[in-house]
Structure 1
Amino acid sequence: MLKMPRPIYNNTAGLKYHTTQETLLYGTLSIGPIYIFLYINSVLLFTLRSKSVFCETSRYILLYNLLFADTVYLVSSSLLYLLAAFRIKLTFYMCSVVILPPQLMSLISPLTLTVMSLERFVAICYPLRHAVIITIRNTGVAITLVWVTSSLSIIIRFLILLCSNTEFSFNLQMKDFCSDETLFLVPMSYHFITAYSGIVFLSAGVTIICSYIGVTLVARSASTNKASARKASQTLLLHLFQLGLILISTFHSNIITAAATIMERSHVLRLYSLSFICLNILPRCLSTFIYGLRDQTIRPFLIQHLCCLMPKSKSKPC
């Protein structure tokens, strides 16, 4: 018989949840920044579809995919947080629907960062071949592979859950609030996603580091555009920093699981709220700063749209 793992919050019924004041405080600190960045991300997504230059440039198409993934992740994560804060328990079927978007987007972001780093590497190191290698078609193929790779991990985890526990039913009521740990109870699923995520992040990290080294070597060459290469190397460093933060956020579950074995439920929930703010929200908000404010092409349109000043001339639709 399959031995089920210990639930994350294996505490007695007498332990307390947040007080009303704590719920409001953590809710404001968590959901408030999310709404602010959701607004900024939405404006930036609109900006990337308001001009033909953004729709016809591979770099901005990849940025749109990254921002879309981060935005969906913020929305779905805030929903999960609210369900947990208000102690709303779902059926396994409803939980699987809610948990699917953040689990899918959690791998799309690092993979997209990898493709964006390769695009910058080709642009700086092979400028004459950039237009041939980085085409709209190839960009579409790369984005499709990113989504297929991310979707594959989710499909395999659900298959492991169904095959390992024949008595499992999606119509059952969950005993705790919806989360990745309470849904995928099978140990094999945990080991699989740990290995799968490790391979993804290791590959992404090696790719970004190699791209950074290549761009840095080009930046030191006297026969190249040092300013452009230097800016690209700085962007790759920011990509690596963002990837590191996303990698740390994947340990969110491990931190909560370990804390639940030594702490009371009320303290675990406080830790859950704080780690949610620091580990889940922050990494998904960096794309706006890295591109929205640093990119000289996007910046004027973004500021214009944020200030609700629409362009006087009609833009060519994408």
Structure 2
Amino acid sequence: STACLRTRCDMNTTKRQDSFNDAFTKNFVSFALGFIINYINGMFVYTYFKSVVFQQDPRYVLYIHLVINDMIMLTVTVMLQILTYTTPLSFAPCCVILLISVTANNPLNLAGMAVERYIAVCRPLHHSQLCTVQRAYALITLIWAVSFIPSISDVIILLVVQPHSVFTKNVICYPSFVYNTPSPPQVLLFSFVFLTLIVTYMKVLCAARAVSSSNQASAKNAHNTILLHGVQLLICMLSYISPFINLVLVTAWPHKRTIIIFTTFLFTNLLPRLLSPLIYGARDQKLSSHFRVHFGCKGSVLKFIPE
């Protein structure tokens, strides 16, 4: 995401302050965490593709897209961080990497999952007709198309205003250095997603309260679903507020700048790539039961996340 790259920009400006041992430790920790997180998420992807029942449910189609998207973004994030310490990037490959990195897939995907849950709870008779696997794939295609629009616009503007010789120069691989353009499309996009989530959550909450007297289990499940999506949204948005967290902490402790930036990078950009898919996948009874079958996790953490 864009915020991930903002954090890496801070790393670019401070990496010269790191000794070789510090730089090696930071890159090793990032690579190790990235590998472990992708391995765990890959287990959920494997479980999905080994069970046809999941591939026939739009809810799980959207969920696995969330997981795969997190794996892609995590890989690119760690790769860019390591490259900033090891190999200078020229303009052209940096633009290609940024084209992938700055896409805003996860918030849009969460909005789609929220709408699907709204239809399931509030319009159950129409759920099978409105929410199909084909429409889920169509929604994923639309999500990618909409997410790429701001990045492609930046590339087009870059091709128009910059001389072609700039593509052979080494640059700091960070959007404001490469594109130097404002980002109102992203602001509008996230505002739309936020409003969509708020509206669907409130409607599902009202529906849960309406049936609470006659069906306590349904009400509890609906409330848990609302809470889970809210937690996922907060986790997803952590990477977008990391620059502000860095600003506050570095202002308070300027002598700890490199440690603060790297720690914030871990907790706002790397670990959230695991928490959101893990919490959702472990809470889902059907998915977690298939997960245990494939990987023999009878005593795993999956047992301790409430349904």
> TM-score, with normalisation over the residues of structure 2?
0.82
Aligned equivalents of 1:261, 1:296: Cα separation in 2: 45
Q: Which residue of 1 aligns with 2:285?
A: 296
Cα deviation, residue 256, structure 1: 6.3
Q: Which residue of 2 aligns with 1:131?
A: 128
Q: Which residue of 1 aligns with 2:160?
A: 163
> 193, 218, 222: which one pairs with 1:204?
193
1:195-220 CA-to-partner distances (Å, cap 9, x unmatched) read: 22222222222211221211111112
Cα deviation, residue 255, structure 1: 6.2
1:210-243 CA-to-partner distances (Å, cap 9, x unmatched) read: 2121111111223764423432332232222322
The residue matched to 1:297 in structure 2 has which SS?
helix
Aligned equivalents of 2:65, 2:19: Cα separation in 1: 39
Give 1:56's aligned amino acid. Q
Call closer, same or farther: CA 1:12–1:215 in 2, change over 3 Å.
closer
Aligned 1:17-96 pairs, distance under 5 A: 17-84=17-84, 86-96=85-95
Cα deviation, residue 173, structure 1: 2.1
Q: Does 1:183 align with 2:182?
A: no
Q: Does 1:282 align with 2:277?
A: no
Cα deviation, residue 79, structure 1: 0.3
Aligned equivalents of 1:257, 1:294: Cα separation in 2: 35
Whether the 8 Å contact between 1:80 and 1:179 is mirrored in structure 2 is no
> TM-score, with normalisation over the residues of structure 1?
0.80
Aligned equivalents of 1:138, 1:152: Cα separation in 2: 21
* Greater mean deviation of Cα atoms: 59-68 or 135-144: 135-144
Call closer, same or farther: CA 1:280–1:145 in 2, change over 3 Å.
same
The residue matched to 1:169 in structure 2 has which SS?
helix
Whether the 8 Å contact between 1:220 and 1:226 is mirrored in structure 2 is no
Let me know the Cα RMSD of the aligned residues.
3.1
Aligned 1:259-274 pairs, distance under 5 A: 268-274=257-263
Call closer, same or farther: CA 1:171–1:137 in 2, change over 3 Å.
same
Aligned equivalents of 1:60, 1:169: Cα separation in 2: 44
Whether the 8 Å contact between 2:121 and 2:207 is mirrored in structure 1 is yes
Whether the 8 Å contact between 1:55 and 1:61 is mirrored in structure 2 is yes
Whether the 8 Å contact between 1:73 and 1:102 is mirrored in structure 2 is yes
* Greater mean deviation of Cα atoms: 44-53 or 18-27: 18-27
Q: Which residue of 2 aligns with 1:146?
A: 143
Q: Does 1:240 align with 2:230?
A: yes
How many percent of aligned residue pairs carry the same amino acid?
A: 29
Q: Which runs of 4+ in 1 moved over 4 A?
A: 253-264, 266-269
Give 2:291's aligned amino acid. L
1:244-286 CA-to-partner distances (Å, cap 9, x unmatched) read: 333331244566689999998x965444322211211132222
Whether the 8 Å contact between 1:215 and 1:229 is mirrored in structure 2 is no
* Greater mean deviation of Cα atoms: 147-156 or 196-205: 196-205
Cα deviation, residue 29, structure 1: 3.6
Whether the 8 Å contact between 1:40 and 1:306 is mirrored in structure 2 is no
Tell me, which stretches of 5 or more residues in structure 2 are unaligned? 1-8, 299-307
Call closer, same or farther: CA 1:197–1:248 in 2, change over 3 Å.
farther
Q: Which residue of 1 aligns with 2:116?
A: 119
How many residues align? The count is 289
1:13-50 CA-to-partner distances (Å, cap 9, x unmatched) read: 9x943112322332344332222110011111111111
Call closer, same or farther: CA 1:198–1:283 in 2, change over 3 Å.
farther
Call closer, same or farther: CA 1:291–1:247 in 2, change over 3 Å.
closer
Give 2:71's aligned amino acid. T
